[in-house]
Amino acid sequence: MTVPSTTPGRATVVGAGIVGLAAASRLLDRGWRVTVVADRPATETTSHLAAAVWFPTRADPRDRVLAWGTATYAELADQARRGVPGVVMRESLTLHREDPGRPWWAPAVGDVRPARPDELPPGYRHGLRFAVPLVEMPVHLPWLAAHVADRGARFVSRRLASLDEAADPAHPADVVIAAPGLAARELVPDPSVVPVRGQIVRVTNPGLSLSVRDEAHPGGRAYVHPRTDDVVLGGTLEEGVRDATPDPAQAAAIVARCTDLVPALAGAEVLETVAGLRPARPTVRLERGVLADGTPVIHDYGHGGSGITLAWGCADEVAEHAARTLGPGVPG
């Protein structure tokens, strides 16, 4: 949603993943002049690899995650209605061996119902049905970066040694937005930021349209997310693992347990196996601070496996914080 405003100031966003680009977009909505600084393009970020289905994963605290997730759900649902490239609503099924009750994130989604017996695969007695946004990141993320650039944002390819370097005297900023993902560990620096390795497998789509997941599968968490031209199978959630090299044995295990969930996957051709490092910390950090030279900074990182689930809600809060850095009476 665009909020017309007199230009309030200049903002530098550090990071070109979904969190940084969403923040840049919201600042542009409010009339800010925006510079995005990143050491790699959006297509080389962890966001680009994400299965990117709305679902809170490895992110706390729950009350703030629910608020951010609710706002993000609404934004992505609206994008799907408007036909924004790569954003769709996807019918979903979570599988459970015991009655899950009503999940804590259900208020964000609204219509969550128990699955009927005929909707459950063999071996499962319980499930939940609902619809959530799915974002095909190879389509959407380049579109979003271009959309932000087309609206006036300046992109700078630069590797920072520390967050303080974002206060560039050649291009001064009234506020810096720190959304560097895993790099926050060194740039801020914040030693509480840790990698959480995730591996996925892309296979051909045999005609699936329902997302299915079992977070407690005996072989490891399992999810099946159909996209237009493929299906994303996952996955892993390996705390503290820094090696993003795909593991063939792990890939075979992912395919096997996902086929348990959706037997129609048997025989699907494997297109690609990739792994990425999610940026996690004990809680998502979204708060104001200050750089060494006195420039205000708004930290927006540590989203774990919930970047696409929280990005727009966090971006709304970033924009509010940014307005307050300029003092009372300044539009923002």
CA 15/CA 276 separation, integer angstroms: 16
Rounded to whole angstroms, how far apart are CA atoms 55 and 243?
25
**For residue 196, what are the contacts with CB-CB under 8 A and spacing of at least 6?**
58, 237, 238, 239, 240, 241, 277, 278, 279, 280, 304, 305
> What is the mean pLDDT, run by run of 10 residues, along the chain of 332 residues?
59 97 98 96 90 94 98 98 98 96 96 96 95 97 98 96 90 94 97 97 97 95 96 95 96 97 96 96 98 96 97 98 75 42
DSSP codes of every residue in 64-107: HHHHHHHHHHHHHHHHHHHT-TTEEEEEEEEEESS---S-TTHH
Domain residue spans of the chain: 10-325
For 16, the token pair is 């070109």
* Pairwise CA distance, residues 285 & 314, whole Å: 10
Task: Say what the pLDDT of residue 326 is.
Answer: 80
- pLDDT value for 4: 42
User: Is the Cα dihedral 117, 119, 124, 130 positive or negative?
Assistant: negative
Hey, which residues does 176 pair with through a beta bridge?
12, 297
Name which CATH class applies to 10-325: alpha beta
Task: Name, in order, each residue with C-beta under 8 angstroms of 51's C-beta and a sequence gap of 6 or more.
Answer: 200, 223, 225, 232, 234, 235
Q: Which residue has the tokens 């307005």?
A: 323
Model pLDDT for residues 41-82, shown as the tens digit of each residue: 998 999 988 889 999 999 999 999 999 999 999 999 999 999
Query: Residue 96 has what pLDDT?
Result: 96
What confidence score (pLDDT) does residue 7 get?
Answer: 56
Helix (H) / strand (E) containing 302: strand 296-303
Q: What is the pLDDT of residue 1?
A: 44
- Give the 3-state DSSP-derived string for 194-229, with helices as H, strands as E and coil as C: EEEEEEEEEECCCCCCCEEEECCCCCCCEEEEECCC
